[in-house]
Amino acid sequence: MMSTALPPLFLSHGSPLIALEPGDTGAFFRRLGPAIERAFGRPRAILAVSAHTTTREPVLLAASRHETIHDFGGFPQALYEMRYDAPGDPGLAQAVSARLGAAGIGHHVLAEGGLDHGIWTPLVHAWPAADIPIVPLSLVPFAAPAEHFAIGEALAPLAEDGVLILGTGSITHNLRLALGSGRLDGLPETPESAAFRQWVWERSTARDWPALLDYRRLAPHAALMHPTDEHWLPFYAPAGAGGRDAVPVRLHAGVTYGCLGMDAYAFGPRATALAEALAG
C-alpha cells in the first residue's frame, strides 16, 4: 500500500540550461518523479523554496495559476520559449500560512504567481505535464540556517499529507570560478568543491545538525563555495521538515562547470525508501 507521506527534498538545479541540456542531473530528475509516484503516490501539491525568489520576510505566492519566469540572460532563444505554466493552490498557501503563524514565524501571503527557473527547470523533467499545483515560498537570504530549518519544522505535517516540500539551489555555487576559466564543459571538479560536498555528506550521514547549521564557520571552503548564502539555504527547510532523527540520504551526486555541485538529498523517515525506488 502506497503512503501519501512524502520525503522532503533538496535539489541542486545548476544552470538554466539544464532544461535544454539535461545531462546526468536532468536524467536523475526524469527518474525522480516516477520513483516518487511508485513509492508514495502522486504529490497532491509542491511547496517550493528556491534560491531565486528572495524577500526580506517569507512570502507565499498564493495565485491560482503560475506563469513561467525566465529570470536569466544570455542563453539560447529556445530556453526563453520553454513554458512551465502550472496551477497554484491558494488553499494550501493558507494552510502553510496558518502553520507558520502558529510557530510565530512572520510572513506574508500574496495573491500573485510565477515560477522562477530554480523551480521549473527541475520540475520540467520530473513532472513535464506541469499539472501538480505549486506554492512558492520565498527565501530570506540573510536569515540564519536555523531560521530556515525552523520553517521546515513548522511545515513538517504537510509532508505527511502528500505535499512535497522542495528546496532548490546548489550544493556548491561560485559563478565567478565557474566562468573564470572561459570554458564551461569538461572541467574537472575543484578540490574545494569536492571537499565541501564530502563534508555535507559526512555531516548529514552523522545527523550532525549543529555542524550543518553552522556550516559557514565549520565547512571547508564555505565562503569560496558560497560567496553568498542563497543557493545553499534552500537545503534547510526540507531538512527541518524531515526532522532531526532520520538520516538524510544523498540521492544524486555530481558537479558541473567544475564547481557547481548538483547533489540532491532526501530527508525524513521515508528518504531511504525513495533511494530504493530510484535504484529499482
What spatial distance separates the first Cα and last Cα of the chain, rounded to whole Å?
Answer: 17
Instruction: Assign 70 a pLDDT band (cuts: 50, 70, 90).
Output: very high
Q: pLDDT of 214-256, one tens digit each?
A: 999 999 999 999 999 999 999 999 999 999 999 999 999 999 9
Q: HSE on the CB side for 35, CA within 13 Å?
A: 22
SS3 of residue 77 by DSSP? helix
Domain range summary for the chain, segments of one domain joined by +: 9-171+232-253+264-279
Instruction: Assign 1 a pLDDT band (cuts: 50, 70, 90).
Output: very low
Q: What b/e sequence results for 42-77 when a residue is b if at least 16 CB atoms lie within 10 Å of its CB, and e otherwise?
A: ebbbbbbbbbbbeeeebbbbbbeebebbbeeeeeee
Prediction pTM value: 0.96
Q: Are strands 59-61 and 108-110 parallel, antiparallel or unpaired?
A: parallel
CATH code for residues 9-171+232-253+264-279: 3.40.830.10
Q: pLDDT of 16-41, one tens digit each?
A: 999 999 999 999 999 999 999 999 99
How far from the centroid of its chain's Cα atoms is residue 3's Cα? 22
Residue 176: per-residue pLDDT: 72
